[in-house]
Chains A and B, each alone.
Chain A
């Protein structure tokens, strides 16, 4: 015998949790079907099948889930599983279903996936670090790994890593140095773009060289002893979709937007 409880998710418009229990077999197909039809009629896009109480799932019942998933995906959503018992998960694996369905260990992870995929909510990482060049490589690797884990391609992740490297190196080299001087980096990532904001305290003695860097370069005539950093900024400009630098005696803030290419 099967039971299904439909639970709205507060603060979301399109997500819903279906709490299944019992045996999902040919006898329960009718009820499974009508549950999904109800969601589709309410224009829900994302369904989380909470499988905590499920003791059996037949291939026929799974077929209904596959059909429902196809319809959700066509609307830009998904049907995912959560909190599945190991033997049920193993059975799904044997049926090849785990190649099609995403399976989450808990409801929150499934909801995070919904927020990412459907609502396209940005996720934010915030770092504060001292003005030391040595910290930059681990930092850029961190940002690159996060981009990859959120589904950005190796190429896009590498470009982001380059951008972070250049921006942070500039912040260290042209800002006030020392352990008390913090650089603030905020990364906001969503399925379509990454935005970076880097803020540091300015070093009054380096203001002239920083302002010179921000002037447009004129080919060979633009080459100076600060060329290395100037090339860095030029590189950032080529890799990004938006770059704004706000420079004053108080501080320098850089805003970058990089749209996902692949």
Chain B
């Protein structure tokens, strides 16, 4: 393997749910070729799925919405940054609210909270902000367990 850490892979794709399975599988495969375990890759796949679903479902406004996903691979961790156009204060506040523990009794409503709860449990950190271009930015860090 000739890969040297850290390195980044950046993706921009249409804000449509149908793209997400291909994107999450790409991330899983990328991690495996980079030497991460299959288990780590699977959990990262879940993280990517959930944050992308969230970005598409709640952050995609406007005519031709786009999602930006940056995967930063380090020797001991992976960091995901996802950006969407839902960069208004209300949306970010809702996102923060959804980060509080999801109520499983209401889970059949398939709300935002459950997905983010899974991401929170699978990661070391999950941060939300509005960046300088008015894009909602979600940053997730997941540490490697097998080293």
Set A109, A112, A123, A134: member contacting B33, Cβ < 8 A: A134
Which residue from chain A places its CB closest to the CB of B11 in the assembled complex? A127
Q: Say whether B133 faces chain A, with CB atoms less than 8 Å apart.
A: no
Tell me the A118-161 residues at the B interface (CB within 8 Å).
123-130, 132-135, 137-139, 141-142, 145-146, 149
Of B19-27, B99-107, B118-126, which stretch is located at the interface?
B19-27
Set B2, B16, B17, B26: member contacting A142, Cβ < 8 A: B26
- A127 / chain B contacts, CB cutoff of 8 Å: 9-12
Q: Is the CB of B9 within 8 A of A129?
A: yes
Q: Say whether A11 faces chain B, with CB atoms less than 8 Å apart.
A: yes
Tell me the A75-98 residues at the B interface (CB within 8 Å).
none
Q: Is the CB of B12 within 8 A of A126?
A: yes
Q: Is the CB of A128 within 8 A of B14?
A: no
Q: Is the CB of B33 within 8 A of A135?
A: yes
Report if A128-B9 is in contact (Cβ < 8 Å); known contacts: A109-B17, A134-B3, A134-B34: yes
Q: Say whether B146 faces chain A, with CB atoms less than 8 Å apart.
A: no
* Proximity string of chain A (148-185) to chain B, C-beta cutoff 8 Å, 1 when within and 0 when not: 01000000000000000000000000000011000000
Q: Is the CB of B4 within 8 A of A179?
A: yes
Q: Is the CB of A124 within 8 A of B14?
A: yes
Tell me the B1-49 residues at the A interface (CB within 8 Å).
1-4, 6-14, 16-19, 21-23, 25-26, 29-30, 33-34
- Count of chain B residues with Cβ under 8 Å from any Cβ of A? 28
Q: Is the CB of A112 within 8 A of B16?
A: yes
A179 to B63, CA, bound (A): 35
Q: Is the CB of A142 within 8 A of B23?
A: yes
Q: Is the CB of A128 within 8 A of B60?
A: no
Tell me the B58-110 residues at the A interface (CB within 8 Å).
60, 63
Report if A139-B26 is in contact (Cβ < 8 Å); known contacts: A108-B60, A132-B3: yes
Which residue from chain B places its CB closest to the CB of A146 in the assembled complex? B22
- A130 / chain B contacts, CB cutoff of 8 Å: 7-9
- A124 / chain B contacts, CB cutoff of 8 Å: 12, 14
Set B2, B9, B11, B33: member contacting A125, Cβ < 8 A: B11
Q: Is the CB of B21 within 8 A of A135?
A: no
Q: Is the CB of B34 within 8 A of A179?
A: no
Q: Is the CB of A126 within 8 A of B11?
A: yes
Set A112, A145, A179: member contacting B22, Cβ < 8 A: A145
Q: Is the CB of A134 within 8 A of B14?
A: no
- B2 / chain A contacts, CB cutoff of 8 Å: 132-134
Tell me the A34-78 residues at the B interface (CB within 8 Å).
none
Q: Is the CB of A142 within 8 A of B25?
A: yes
B3 to chain A, nearest CB (A): 5
A-B contact pairs, 22 of them (CB 8 A): A11-B63, A109-B16, A123-B16, A125-B13, A125-B14, A125-B19, A126-B12, A126-B13, A129-B10, A130-B9, A132-B2, A134-B1, A134-B2, A134-B34, A135-B33, A138-B26, A138-B33, A141-B26, A141-B29, A142-B23, A142-B25, A178-B4
- Interface residues, chain A, with chain B CB atoms under 8 Å away: 11, 108-109, 112, 123-130, 132-135, 137-139, 141-142, 145-146, 149, 178-179
